[in-house]
Amino acid sequence: MSKVVLITGASSGMGRETAILLAEGGHTVYAGARRTDRMEDLKRHGIRPVAMDVTKSDDNQRVVKQILADQGRVDVLINNAGFGLYGPVEDIPLDDARYQFEVNLFGLADLTRLVLPSMREQGSGRIINTSSMGGRIFTPFGAWYHATKHALEGWSDCLRIETAPHNIQVVVIQPGMIRTEFGQVLGGYMQKYYAGSAYKAQLDSFFQQASDPKNANRGTDAKVLAKVFVEAATTARPRRRYVEGAMARPLLFLRKWFGDGVYENVLRRAFGG
């Protein structure tokens, strides 16, 4: 049965590939991102790009109203927009940390609240939240990013219980390393806090590991994750959580069964410190 799907963060990576696969499967797909120029080519797949910044409630309201006016329903919301803020806690301004939460949690929550009334009225719906293996583990210099993903995990579990009587399912996707992820970190936020940092020695070690071509190529292709998203969106009985991608299962297993001490020693050996 064809579904009406809204997916955020659809201009690249997992969001883009998921939108294409869903559209090829016959579903009506609205692809949201801040810059629609990056999604123009998605139109040839029958995808409908919509300009939206999930941190702006006016954008979220406009898009949900548009879809309900066009289609009369939203069957699946895929909350995929997000980014990773990396750097030493001491160096990151709290305004930057707050913005990390605005994108990764509060914007997602606002959009979810807007689609829930129509899902309740139709007696069905599905919310798919992109978390990360980082929602259950931790890595150096990722305190604020991991904080948002740990929060999203608990938020999603509570939402699942609340909405179950209305036949609204809540699914969490926990990707591992995705190809190009390390390059994005190196080229962006971590470098922003490097100058003058008291943590340069540790940051240098992290940069060395992250820029190693062997590590950079270990990430999973976004198309692999797109298939997981499609299953989560379309199967009759989805799992509560899907884990997929490089290093996800080994690291989750390591922390769960060997404890924080062993896990931290592994991180120190890998990244120094």
Catalytic residues: 145
SS (H, E, C) the chain: CCCEEEECCCCCHHHHHHHHHHHHCCCEEEEEECCHHHHHHHHHHCCEEEECCCCCHHHHHHHHHHHHHHHCCCCEEEECCCCCCCCCCCCCCHHHHHHHHHHHHHHHHHHHHHHHHHHHHHCCEEEEEECCHHHCCCCCCCHHHHHHHHHHHHHHHHHHHHHHHHCEEEEEEEECEECCHHHHHHHCHHHHCCCCCCCHHHHHHHHHHHHCHHHHCCCECHHHHHHHHHHHHHCCCCCCEEEECECHHHHHHHHHHHHHHHHHHHHHHHHCC
HSE (CB half, 13 Å, CA atoms) of 106?
Answer: 9
Q: Which of 17, 38, 29, 6 has the alpha carbon at shortest distance from 175?
A: 17
